[in-house]
Amino acid sequence: MAGLTGIRWLRQLVLGLSCLLLLSTCSFSNGPTAGGKTLTIATEPTYPPFEFQSATGELQGFDIDLMNAIAQSAGFQVKYQRMPFDGMIPALQAQTVDAAVAAMTITAQRAKTISFSRPYFKSGVAIATRIDNQNITNFDSLKNKIIGVQIGTTGAQKAQNIPGAEVRTFNDSPLTLQALLNGNVDAVLNDQVVILYGIKSGNLKGLKVVSSLLTEEFYGIPTPKGSPYLQTINQGLATVLKNGTYSQIYQKWFGIQPPQLPEKSPIENQTSEGVSELLTSLGIIWKSLPVLLGGALITLQLTVLSVLLGTLAGSLIGIVRLHPAPFLRSCARGYVEFFRGTPLLVQIFMIYFGLPAVVQSFGFTFSLNRLAAAVIALSLNSAAYIAEIVRGGIQSIEPGQAEAAQSLGLSSVQTMRYVIFPQALRRMLPPLGNQFISLLKDTSLVAVIGFEELFRKGQLIVAQNYRSFEIYAAVALVYLFLTLLSSQAFSRWERSLNPVKEKRN
Ligand code: GLN
Domains present along the chain, CATH in parentheses: 38-121+219-254 (3.40.190.10), 125-215 (3.40.190.10), 277-496 (1.10.3720.10)
Q: Which of 4-8, 65-69, 154-158, 174-178 has the lowest mean pLDDT?
A: 4-8
**Which one-letter amino acid corresponds to residue 441?**
K
Q: Are 419 and 410 a contacting pair, CB within 8 Å?
A: yes
pLDDT at position 28 over 90 = no
Our answer on whether the CB atom of 385 is closer than 6 Å to any ligand 1 atom is no
pLDDT at position 356 over 50 = yes
pLDDT at position 275 over 60 = no
Pairing relation of β-strands 51-53 and 46-47? antiparallel
- pTM score: 0.80
Our answer on whether the CB atom of 63 is closer than 6 Å to any ligand 1 atom is no
Interval 323-349 mean pLDDT: 96
Contacts of 428 (CB under 8 A, 6+ apart): 389, 390, 392, 393
What residues are paired with 60 via a beta bridge? 52
Quote the pLDDT of residue 1: 46
Residue among 85, 41, 268 at smallest CA distance from 194 = 85
Q: 260: how many CB neighbours lie within 10 A of its CB?
A: 7
* Per-residue pLDDT tens digits for 381-429: 999 999 999 999 999 999 899 899 999 999 988 998 899 989 999 999 9
Q: 23: how many CB neighbours lie within 10 A of its CB?
A: 10
What is the distance between the alpha carbons of residues 469 and 482, in angstroms, rounded to a whole number?
A: 20
Our answer on whether the CB atom of 153 is closer than 6 Å to any ligand 1 atom is yes
* Per-residue pLDDT tens digits for 450-468: 889 999 999 999 998 888 8
Instruction: Tell me which of 62, 88, 105, 123 to substitute to probe ligand 1's pocket, judged by most ligand atoms within 8 Å of the beta carbon.
Output: 105
Pairing relation of β-strands 46-47 and 217-219? unpaired
Q: Predicted confidence band at 32 (pLDDT cuts at 50, 70, 90)? A: very low
Q: Are 223 and 114 a contacting pair, CB within 8 Å?
A: yes
Q: Are 373 and 352 a contacting pair, CB within 8 Å?
A: yes
Instruction: Give the Cα-Cα-Cα angle 81, 85, 91 (nearest 5 degrees).
Output: 60
Q: Are 152 and 90 a contacting pair, CB within 8 Å?
A: no
Task: Supply the residue whose CA is at minimum distance from atom 7 of ligand 1.
Answer: 103
pLDDT at position 201 over 60 = yes
The CA 173 to ligand 1 mean position distance, Å, reads: 9
Classify burial at 261, counting beta carbons within 10 Å of its beta carbon; exposed 0-12, middle 13-18, buried 19 or more: middle
DSSP state letter for 167: E
Quote the pLDDT of residue 270: 66
Give, for 298, the enclosing helix (H) or strand (E): helix 281-320
Task: Supply the residue whose CA is at minimum distance from atom 5 of ligand 1.
Answer: 153
Q: Is the dihedral of CA 155, 158, 163, 168 positive or negative?
A: positive
Quote the pLDDT of residue 282: 86
Quote the pLDDT of residue 205: 86
Three-state secondary structure call for residue 60: strand
Question: Cα–chain-centroid distance for residue 241?
Answer: 36
Quote the pLDDT of residue 31: 40
Our answer on whether the CB atom of 288 is closer than 6 Å to any ligand 1 atom is no
DSSP state letter for 409: T
Our answer on whether the CB atom of 104 is closer than 6 Å to any ligand 1 atom is yes
